[in-house]
Amino acid sequence: MKFFIDTANLDQIKEAQDLGVLDGVTTNPSLMAKEGITGKDNIIEHYKKICDIVTGDVSAEVISTDFEGIVKEGEELAKLHDQIIVKVPMIKEGVKAIKYFSDKGIKTNCTLVFSVGQALLAAKAGATYVSPFIGRLDDISTDGLNLIAEIRMVYDNYNFDTQILAASVRHTMHVIDCAKIGADVMTGPLSSIEGLLKHPLTDIGLAKFLADYKKGN
């Protein structure tokens, strides 16, 4: 399972990269705005900084919603760095653009996916990644993890290459449950990754080992 961090915060990206288990980064316009990164030029520069920190895939989202605009923006983004994955919304024009990018060998992440039907369309169009937003489904009392399981079943039925990128992951249990279901990737906050480290018996055990070591010295 690949681990992506879902943030535009450079310090957190560095911290996750230093842990040695990071496979990539996802961003979106809201995450950029949260870091005070606004305006096309600043956003482009920020993508370059992220690519300099990490070795894996970096999703960069288009703003256009028409086919020609998505293609123009996506081609510009893809030229920035070979780690860039063009993030395209699950809309009709987006599906057309994903097919176009796929034919050109440009990698894509189909975002804002909330149903199996949408995931099927993204795979048919040749998306590299599909991003079902599990946390946002949970927010409206719908089972986000069940969507991951259903997409897994459909993709396995037909051997689609599209990777299931569980997005809108909010906490560590989401990460573990996505791993059990067989999501190819998860993207979440740094806390959802670092939460995997924690167990009280580890802390108690280590304290005892260190105390016993000191007794003999």
- Give the one residue of 51, 167, 178, 186 binding ligand E4P; rule: CB under 6 A: 167
- Give the one residue of 9, 12, 28, 118 binding ligand E4P; rule: CB under 6 A: 28
Enumerate long-range contacts of 133-138, CB under 8 Å, 24 or more apart. 133/167, 133/168, 134/166, 134/167, 134/168, 134/169, 134/174, 134/178, 135/168, 135/169, 135/170, 135/174, 136/168, 137/168, 138/170
Between CA 144 and CA 140 the distance in angstroms is 10
CA angle 95, 110, 174 (to 5 degrees): 150
Q: Is 168 in the site for ligand E4P (CB under 6 A)?
A: yes
Of residues 73 through 102, those in contact with ligand E4P by CB under 6 A are none
Tokens of 34: 């949260």
In whole angstroms, the minimum distance from the beta carbon of 43 to ligand E4P comes to 14
Query: CA distances (Å), 156 to each of 107, 164, 181, in order?
Result: 21, 11, 12
Of residues 105 through 124, those in contact with ligand E4P by CB under 6 A are 111
Of residues 125 through 154, those in contact with ligand E4P by CB under 6 A are 131, 133, 135-136
Q: Using the minimum distance from each CB to ligand E4P, give the nearer residue, 184 or 201.
A: 184
State the catalytic residue, choosing from 87, 99, 180, 198: 87
In whole angstroms, the minimum distance from the beta carbon of 7 to ligand E4P comes to 9
Between CA 8 and CA 53 the distance in angstroms is 12
Q: Is 87 a known active-site residue?
A: yes
Q: Is 26 in the site for ligand E4P (CB under 6 A)?
A: yes
In whole angstroms, the minimum distance from the beta carbon of 184 to ligand E4P comes to 14
In whole angstroms, the minimum distance from the beta carbon of 185 to ligand E4P comes to 10
Burial of 26 (0-12, 13-18, 19+ CB in 10 A): buried
**Residue 75 carries which side chain, given as an amino acid letter?**
E
Counting DSSP H helices and E strands in the chain, the numbers are 11, 8
Q: How many residues belong to the site for ligand E4P (CB under 6 A)?
A: 11
Q: Is 12 in the site for ligand E4P (CB under 6 A)?
A: no
Binding site for ligand E4P (CB under 6 A): 6, 26, 28, 111, 131, 133, 135-136, 167-168, 187
Active site residues: 87
